[in-house]
Chains A and B, each alone.
Chain A
Amino acid sequence: MKNIEQGTLSKKKHQSDRMPAAIRELLPAVSALLLITTVMTLINHKFLLPSNISNLLLQQAEPAMLAIGLVMILFLGEIDLSVGAVSGFCAAIMASLTARHGVDPIVAILIAVAVGASVGFFQSIWVVSFGIPAFIVTLAGLIGWQGGLFAVLGQQGTINLTEPKIEFLTQAFLSKSFAWTVVILLCSVYIFIRIQTVRRSRELELEGTKLILVLIQSAIFAAILIILLLYFQRDRGIPVSFFIVLSMATLLHLISRYTRFGRQVYAIGGNLEAARRAGIPVKRVRIQVFMLATVCAAIAGVLGGSRLSAVGSGQGGGTLLLNSIAAVVIGGTSLFGGRGHIWSAVIGSLIIGAISNGMDLLALASPIKYVVTALVLLAAVTFDSVSRSRSAKLTP
């Protein structure tokens, strides 16, 4: 009965047990981030000052939020080019409602998010029902919602946002007590779940991770969170906007790894026809993922508008979309579908932010910044492609 697990497995014990699977997948991206951080700090020690890193987080909240939505799309093996434009459009709606129509900002944000969801629904219907490639549908979306942005802004071109509730999102920092509560809560939940897992796997006579290893991993998890928090509290603390990004990433991480929906998303990205034959409601799942992406885009738009205290015609445009796609790939999520990790969006955004921020500190001209980002992106895609073909070669 146990020849499968214990006969072959335990003899040459998998390395996987030393490290949780999530960490293993993210290792290349995390190493890249640490490497870039080290290089930047060696060149200019100001880079690692908590105040500078806080600024970096503030800058990257918007693209990171956009990237989090895109990861889910990439899991499916699809692409959404419209999310930048959608974020601009939704930000303009939120700004127009608060500044021009006196709507309560919270209601306005909720409306913007609802509009984002509807846009995703509308676009995905085209992809799912008519079989038009998402690339084309969302390209149309990119152009169309850009028009929507201009239409909402009207002739003035820019809407100023002075509403304190909206400025709070990107200008406030988490209070000390709140941040500590969150960290302690996270650590307790993490340790509780890990220990429960060990108990359950003993109950079922499964070859689980050893308790001592689980305790060490939990301790490392807690230590990292506490050190990061102490570090940020030497300055102003953790920006509210980035906390929103982290919360969204955590939520989608849990959904993608531990729920049936998440499993279905990965399955569709791996083999759509197999997923369909297995009875997975393929259309519904794809629509839901496209909606999640545009909801994230709407939130990103709100964060972006809040940071600039205004929504103008450039909102959600420029290099935002392309940088977000680059971030996801740099973070290690495959463009080919079925493979990757939610946190690759956040880590990839931080890598791009670190390059940009570091170059600014060095007062380097922006051409260099673009070229370096391009090289990192190229390296990441090459890594993805090579590791894919290597794992394919493993099979005789």
Chain B
Amino acid sequence: MPALLSLKQIKKSYGPIEALKGVDLELNAGEILALVGDNGAGKSTLIKVLSGAITPDSGEIALDGAVVNFPDPRSSTKHGLATVYQDLALCENLDVVSNLFLGHEELFKIRFPHILASMKMQRMAIDLLSSLSIKLPSIRSRVEQLSGGQRQAVAIARSLVRDPRIVLLDEPTAALGALQRRDLIQLMRTLRDRGLGVIFITHNLNEVLEVSDRVLVLRQGSNISTAQIKDITEASLIAVITGISDDLVSKVGA
């Protein structure tokens, strides 16, 4: 059975700089994949390729074995990929419901004018948030009134409104406190248990070991090694990230 998502030899250059030098990646349904690597390893570029924000120079993206192209963010969304950007991209002046449906509002079934079906969206928002066990003071509060963790939760919930199969999270825990981080990790597990594929970028190695099922290490635009979390140690992970070793499973220095 082909992987849910597979990338083959993805290359992207910015002028003389090769950001991605041919990256291979596979993601299965119901799997959390941690994408780690030092600054400039190409993690964010890879996420941008998947979200359709940039197009790769060469290489192949396949979903369930079928080759696809993402010339723009819309096409990525349409193929069932949802991206949660590091800056969250929420409209802080709008309430939670408006943000959840931003760009994809439910409308009354008349041609013109496009009248918002506000109550239908409220109902859907409540169902969505409670299915993810996300607790907010009110779905009508403006995003600017929410805490960092709550905003992160809203951003992730928003990515799920269109029923994606793959969720991409760019450093989701970077700006969170300990409690909020715990809630977020729980949320990522919920997504996995629903059979979604989750890719997340992080700099926190404890998080990698705690949350993900598999880890992929990038270094200078190439994928170096990937392994199941149960097969690795923190030491071997650090060794591969820093370039001491090229194999996650082998013993350091072996």
Contact = CB atoms under 8 A, between A and B. Distances in A.
What is the interface residue range for chain B against chain A? 35 or more
Given A4-B135, A391-B144, 16 more contacts: A4-B138, A7-B135, A200-B119, A206-B122, A260-B114, A263-B94, A263-B98, A269-B93, A270-B92, A273-B89, A274-B90, A279-B74, A279-B77, A394-B144, A395-B147, A396-B148
Given A2-B126, A258-B115, A274 B93 contact: no
Nearest to A5: B126
Contacts of A255: 113
A263 B104 CA distance: 11
Given A204-B119, A255-B113, A280 B102 contact: yes
A168 interface: no
A185 interface: no
Most chain-B CB neighbours within 10 Å: which of A1, A200, A263, A338?
A: A263
A277 interface: yes
B85 interface: yes
21 contacts: A1-B126, A1-B127, A4-B129, A5-B138, A5-B139, A14-B140, A201-B119, A204-B122, A206-B123, A261-B113, A266-B91, A266-B93, A269-B93, A274-B91, A275-B91, A275-B102, A277-B73, A337-B93, A392-B144, A394-B144, A395-B144
Contact of B93 (A2, A8, A273, A338): A338
A204 to B, nearest CB: 4
B120 A204 contact: yes
Main secondary structure of the interface of A (DSSP, over half): helix
A339 B93 contact: yes
Contact of A204 (B104, B107, B123): B123
Interface string B36-68: 000000000000000000000000000000000
A278 interface: yes
Interface of A: 1-5, 7-9, 14, 16, 197, 200-201, 204-206, 255, 258-261, 263, 266-267, 269-271, 273-275, 277-280, 337-339, 391-392, 394-396
B137 interface: yes
Contacts of A260: 105, 107, 114-116
A197 B116 CA distance: 13
Nearest to B114: A260
A263 B194 CA distance: 32
Contacts of B88: 274
A280 B114 CA distance: 14
Interface string B101-144: 01111010000011110111011001101100011111110101
Nearest to B120: A204
B105 A271 contact: no
Contacts of B93: 266, 269-271, 337-339
Interface of B: 73-74, 77, 85, 88-94, 98, 102-105, 107, 113-116, 118-120, 122-123, 126-127, 129-130, 134-140, 142, 144-148
B130 A2 contact: yes
Contacts of A201: 119
Contacts of B146: 395
Nearest to A340: B93
A4 B94 contact: no
B96 to A, nearest CB: 10
Nearest to A261: B114
B115 A259 contact: yes
Given A255-B113, A260-B107, A271 B148 contact: no
A309 B98 CA distance: 47
B139 A279 contact: no
Contacts of B90: 271, 274
B163 to A, nearest CB: 16
Given A9-B138, A391-B144, A271 B92 contact: yes
Contact of B140 (A16, A204, A277): A16
Contacts of B135: 3-4, 7-8
A331 B90 CA distance: 27
Most chain-A CB neighbours within 10 Å: which of B73, B98, B126?
A: B126
A17 to B, nearest CB: 10
A280 B123 CA distance: 23
Contacts of A274: 88-91, 102
Contacts of A279: 73-74, 77, 103-104
